[in-house]
Amino acid sequence: MVILLSGQDTYRMHERMSFLRAAFMQKFAAQNPRTVSFSGSDVHPEELRAATHTVGLFTQKTFVSLTQAEDVVADKREAIENTLRSVPEDVIVVVSYTAPKKSPWKMVKECATKVEEFPELAEHEVRTWALQYAKKQNVALSSTEAQRIIHSTEKNLWNVAHVIHQLKHIPSSQRTRWFPLLVPSVETDTVFTILDGISEKNLTKSIKALDTQLSQDSSVHGLITLIAKHLGLLYHCLATPTQKTDAHPFAVKKAQVAAKRFSKEQLRALLATLLDIDQQLKSSTVDERALMTLFLTKACA
């Protein structure tokens, strides 16, 4: 049996994969089942076939996961397709495909006994998910707090879950103090525009979004944190492009394009400037608008 998990929501796909694995192991616990895991970037067709096609005395209930199938290189696909077409009854193979804006690998979809779709959730759906997840974790969360978490995490369920787990370990008496530190109040849409302006080196776009942001009395420190995170991702794409990052796959792909407009030296200088601005804002009375405008001028040069 082959199950395909397809879509852009990597968190829910990961959770579904974990659920299916646990259910399989529980159902066949008496038969000593086994699990084998592969990722698309390093899977070898021979190893996949060996994991799925044990015979005779070695036949065993087996759960096989193949994650990030979109990364399987072209010259391995035919052999993997042949393996998936003939998966025996004792084996379940769950394939996850997370490439953005692409239909799943056609042959995998044709081989699949079942296809489950995991599109990115709309904002109101993420809010509902966050409230339900918080309830499961025994974390009291208001709709307003959930909305603020969603904005600060860019609707990324991995980050939403991480924040909720952090809140779980904060005593209720300390909640008011720590919540603003964990979840900066930043208007996400405007911040996205500022980050896009920096990535595109579009000064006009960035300045206009900055003016909107500051007119809403939003946290400049929160904005600085998100810009620094964005620049750090761009630097990662230049300095260590082959190493994995915790950032969302879509953000990484977008950053890989934007990073080409910068040099490593420029990004290091911009990060140092941000640190200096942050220290100035904390230690003296300065014009935050002027400092951020000068920074954007430097970043978009």
Per-residue pLDDT at 1 exceeds 70? yes
CA triple 19-22-23, angle to 5 deg: 85
Per-residue pLDDT at 195 exceeds 80? yes
As a whole number of angstroms, the distance between CA 174 and CA 172 comes to 5
Instruction: Flag the least confident range among 23-32, 179-188, 283-292.
Output: 179-188
Cβ atoms 105, 77 nearer than 8 A: yes
Per-residue pLDDT at 27 exceeds 90? yes
Q: Give whole-number Cα distances, 177 to 167, 171, 185, 249, 281, in Å.
A: 11, 10, 14, 33, 20
pLDDT tens for 77-128 read 889 989 998 898 889 999 999 866 555 567 777 888 899 999 989 989 999 9
Q: What is the pLDDT of residue 287?
A: 86
Q: What is the pLDDT of residue 218?
A: 67
Which neighbouring-strand residues pair with 97?
A: 6
What tokens were used for 264? 């490593």
pLDDT tens for 34-47 read 899 999 989 999 99
Q: What is the pLDDT of residue 173?
A: 83
Rounded (10°) CA dihedral 118, 122, 128, 133: 50
pLDDT band at 171; cut points 50, 70, 90: confident
Confidence (pTM): 0.60
Amino acid at 41: S
Mean pLDDT of the chain: 87
Instruction: Flag the least confident range among 27-41, 78-92, 122-136, 236-250.
Output: 236-250
Q: Higher-confidence residue: 176 or 145? A: 145
